[in-house]
Structure 1
């Protein structure tokens, strides 16, 4: 395995550990993940700017719809970062945008949310906080997906 993908995997493990223990991640981690992902994929023949813009647009649209829905439900504006979504989660999902084509980013986003829900319920006895370490669980899921994509040639999800 080359150095850059190994650093990417290490960063994902650190995101998981930090989010699990502290329910926050260091701001440098998403920046490193984005830079390494951009560097790795830039070697390939993809229009990375377009990929990043489309994936970020999808994510921000989803977050906006969620904010509008939750605000309408409570009959007042709810800041998503104070009530149900962390800034680290936002930074993580934006940081991984270079790794996927849009349809695969959407697939990863949905599957990572399901993975987080399953882990949250499965580890309920061991988790003391009420919040979900979404960035951490998503990083763990991405770690598994990258390993799967590296060792098996069928149904690759990432651009790695």
Structure 2
């Protein structure tokens, strides 16, 4: 049941971000809650440490990126004005319970590359100039979760059962 609701929330993220280039703030909260509860069923109290490690990685990466962009511009640069949406940041934080740290790093980098490739492929069908990063990342996550559920190959996510 939790997994079905989580997948539905991810589908809504894909749809909203594709259509509007923004997602409702409730969606990342719902994704986090349902992800956390789903993983807590199998991993118990370690879910908190999994979430904390992944969150720390993401925040360190994001702060480093802000620092680099500010250094290049010779002044503080607000990343939300030109580069990222708040929904993108909240989405990457919301999915932190779903991965071990190594797999979160792989997913993070992979989702960026997936988003770039999808943007290039779909450029002619796009009405906006911006990349729906949270939506494309959510689409990749749905595909990975379904792969982890139904195929007996290397698992990326911590999803074990339906």
By the TM > 0.5 criterion, same fold?
yes
Counterpart of 1:43 in structure 2 is 41
Any runs of at least 4 consecutive aligned residues in structure 1 with deviations exceeding 4 A, and if so which?
none
Gaps of 5+ in 2: none
Spell out, residue by residue over 1:36-60, the C-alpha distance to the aligned partner (whole angstroms, 9 max, x if none).
1111111113501111111011001
Counterpart of 1:32 in structure 2 is 30
Spell out, residue by residue over 1:66-104, the C-alpha distance to the aligned partner (whole angstroms, 9 max, x if none).
111111111111111112011000110011000000000
Counterpart of 2:69 in structure 1 is 70
TM-score under structure 2 normalisation? 0.95
User: What CA distance in whole angstroms lies between the structure 2 residues aligned with 1:154 and 1:82?
Assistant: 41
CA RMSD of aligned residues (A): 0.9
1:7 to 2:25 alignment: no
Q: Tell me, what secondary structure is at the counterpart of 1:43?
A: helix
The number of aligned residues is 158
Spell out, residue by residue over 1:85-130, the C-alpha distance to the aligned partner (whole angstroms, 9 max, x if none).
1100011001100000000000100110000000011111111222
